[in-house]
Structure 1
Amino acid sequence: MEAFIWICKLGTFRAAADHLSVTQPTISLRISELETALGISLFEKSGRGVTLSAEGALVRRYVEHGIGLLDQMDGMLHLEQPFDGLLRLGAIDALAMTCLPEVVGMLEASYPDLRVNLTIATSTDLVDLLDQKKLDIAFLGEPARKESCWFELIGSLETAWVGGVGKFDQKATIAPEDLYRERVLTLQSPSRLHQIIDDWFANEKAPSPTLSVCNDISLITRFVAKGLAVSVLPVCVVRQEIESGLIESYVPTLPLPALPLYVAGQPPARDARVVEAVRKMSDVIAAAGILA
């Protein structure tokens, strides 16, 4: 049934085999067995791919329902089992630089038999790793969604234009023309922070400057603190530098949107243990005071 559903979603036997990490002959054998059991043909050839037959379209509705019931059963059977083994946890830089240590500490205290492996990456890369089944859970910004994963919005991170102390002579507000002579440093596209900057200039009806890019928020923060660049960053990431007088935040002529923070995971169905662990992690993040 799983092979059948992924062929429906991806359009070819090869793509379904790659997604499930099996060979194409294995997928073909599974579909052949299913067709024999049902006494019908599920697919028709269409170019290089396949489309559902009329009977196959009907079967898909029942198979999706059946898989959903099996996932529910699995969740109930494992409800009382301990949360143990290896948890492959991903996060964006903004979380890694603020409260990720507290999240991991809570997990290890709550689940003594759980080991946590960490991956820090961009939201786009984290979603790809989830889709490839190389991560179990990830905290990320606004991503391109995948059918193989679940997503849950847990809050947002306030953003601000920031730069070195005295860079703009204590102006009340900053406008696009104030930034054209500055190095505007941000994460590479398609990051949400990069998009926030582009959108801000577009909303100001001003041409966007050529942006310098870096793949590390902590390094961007250092450039900003040294007065070598300005940037749009989550306030929680630079709060300590702002409070210590190393960095200033500026009031823009148009407000900046907050950066959404999601938790995501795979497979699409979650058992009760995962739901509880995600709730506990989200509570730690909320208690850290980083959410807008």
Structure 2
Amino acid sequence: MAPVIRPRLSLISEVAMPRYKSMSSLVPALDGNELVKGIFSLSFLMICVVDGLTCSSFLDLNIFKSDIISTFYIAKLHGFGMFTIKQMEALYWVANLGTFEAAADYLNLTQSTVSKRIGELEGHFSTPLFDRTSRKAALTSTGRDVCEIAEEILKLNNSLIEIAKAQAGAPRRFRLGVTDLIAYSWLPELLQRISDRYPGMTLEPEVELTSDLLSRLAESKIDFIVCPRASHHPLVTSLPLGSIEMAWMCHPKLGLQGRLISKEELTQHRILIQSRGSVLRPMLKDIIDNPKLKFKSTVNSNNMAALAELAANGLGVTVLPSAFFRRYVDEGRLCVIKTSIEIPPLEYFVSYREDYNAQFLKEVTRLCEAVSTF
């Protein structure tokens, strides 16, 4: 039976405090309490890992995984070397993305490099971390325990980077997903601010429908999304960003401006509407699927800018966010239609997975709040 190792706080303090003091001299501008929380807690966990001990947090010394701890301890005694951040990253992303190939793509590594890092990590343990009989890279019971500890170490590593650089520890690659509306408005400014703050980062913006963005986020195929629907995935945080006023619009030559347009007159025209999968579709269900509102014909598109251009060329009536297409109105290419068929505001959310880069993703959320035009 594996021994249960329980460190004494006094013993850990003897080891950790000299390291804390030497580190604190390198960052004298920081408040002492903040330094203790950031550096000392990280030093504590790292020292525990190196010396064969681990815990889930500095403030809860009673939460241990005895089997994993004893393995760490035996590995140290037999000179198997130290665990590395690169190994932890490889383990985390293989486990979360489901394949070695996907993890290699995310980490911008070859698949053989990821396999090598996992192999080196598994060499420290008496049982495999992954079940190789499954098509996907499924964690074993030991693998789940190790991955949980690895995520904590990665979080603390980012915390130390945050203290040292006075900014959130950030990934080398950032996959950001938005809808076309954001892409055509304030996405460029957001990317510029992220690039200025994290100059070495590779940015990968994607423009997709809301349903596709939510699916990709749930599958860890994207890191952060901005779209008009909150995620209900248990591992995803969704926060409201703001709402957009929607309006009926058309080209002035249709003669629908400057007066209240009845439902009967509005339906005499072609409706230009977003296709299925768009968040606007459910909002307009009572209009599109209403047997009493039969429009002349329908044109579906998954691109809002395309709908605006079609309307600006006089092809029909459409629903658009008025603030984002005000330039079209100022140029006389579109006009707002006043009608009794009301459209509710469109609320936007930022969503991201609660992984070890959460502090960085919270910083991106703050940047979105600063640059958004909602």
TM-score, with normalisation over the residues of structure 1? Answer: 0.66
Match of 2:323 among 228, 236, 258: 236
The equivalent residue for 1:220 is: 307
**2:263 match:** 174
Counterparts of 1:113-124 in structure 2, within 5 Å, are 121-123=207-209
Confirm or deny: 8 A CA contact 2:231 2:351 kept in the other structure.
no
Q: Which residue of 2 aligns with 1:73?
A: 160
Q: Distance in 2 between matches of 1:15 and 1:80?
A: 28
Q: How far does the alpha carbon of each residue in 1:220-245 deviate from its partner, in whole angstroms, 9 at most, with x for none? A: 32432443211111121233555787
Larger Rg: 2
Residues 212, 26 of structure 1: CA spacing in aligned structure 2 closer, same or farther, 3 A cutoff?
same
Percent pairwise identity = 26
Contact 2:257 2:336 in 1 (8 A): no
Larger relative contact order (CA 8 Å, sep ≥ 6): 1
Report the Cα distance in structure 2 between the residues aligned to 1:250 and 1:243, rounded to whole angstroms: 17
TM-aligned CA distance change 1:74 to 1:225, over 3 Å: same
Deviation at 1:88, TM superposition (A): 9.3
Aligned twin of 1:35: 122
After TM superposition, list the pairs within 5 Å mapping 1:135-154 onto structure 2. 139-142=226-229, 152-154=239-241
Q: 1:247 aligns with which of 310, 313, 335?
A: 335
Q: Which runs of 5+ in 2 are unaligned?
A: 1-87
Equivalent in the alignment of 1:11: 98
Preserved CA contact (<8 Å) 1:122 1:140: no
Q: Which residue identity does 1:74 align to in structure 2?
A: I
Q: One-letter code of the match for 2:335?
A: I
Q: TM-score, normalised by structure 2?
A: 0.54
RMSD over aligned CA atoms reads 4.8
Aligned to 1:61: 148
Task: Please give the residue correspondences for 1:125-136 in structure 2 after superposition, counting only pairs within 5 Å.
Answer: none
Q: In the aligned structure 2, how far is the partner of 1:10 from the partner of 1:115?
A: 21
Moved more, 32-41 or 42-51: 42-51
1:201 equivalent to 2:201? Answer: no
Structure 1 residues 80 and 16: CA distance shift in structure 2, 3 A? closer
Matches within 5 A, 1:267-286: 269-271=357-359, 279-285=366-372
Deviation track 1:129-148 (CA, whole Å, cap 9, x = no partner) reads: 9x767xx9775444879999
Give the Cα–Cα distance (whole angstroms) in 2 for the partners of residues 118 and 26 of structure 1: 23
- What is the identity, as a one-letter code, of the residue corresponding to 1:185? L
CA contact (8 A) 2:260 2:340 kept: no
How many residues in Structure 1 have an aligned counterpart in Structure 2? Answer: 276
What is the deviation of 1:155? 0.7
Gaps of 5+ in 1: none
Partner of 2:92, secondary structure, is helix
What whole-Å deviation, never above 9, does each CA across 1:190-240 have from its counterpart, x for those lacking one? 3323443346434x4668877424465444324324432111111212335
